[in-house]
Copies of this chain bind each other. A is one copy, B any other.
């Protein structure tokens, strides 16, 4: 079969294009997910070092949690302030 009908060809092409885009998205996400997994692995390793050095990972984890909360709390307070400002028309 040397030549497909133009209609058929068009369909094939768009399907093929869609397929390629999907494939590309999937591969991109998979790449990112393996990056993420690698970083998670690194974190685990550091906790391993922590333990090996004689510190309690639990405590380190707790400290990190609190530090994170502090940051989040500050961010929330800023957001509240922004809301107030915008509520009284002072946001621009």
- A residues in contact (CB < 8 Å) with B: 18, 21-22, 25-26, 28-30, 32-33, 35-36, 39-40, 42-43, 46-47, 49-50, 53, 55-56, 58-60, 62-70, 72-73, 76-77, 79-80, 83-84, 87
Contacts and interface: CB of A to CB of B under 8 A. Distances in A.
Contacts of A22: 55, 60, 63
Contact of A83 (B18, B25, B58, B87): B58
Contacts of A70: 73
B66 A30 contact: no
A26 B73 contact: no
A70 to B, nearest CB: 7
A27 B70 CA distance: 15
Contacts of A60: 22, 25-26, 29
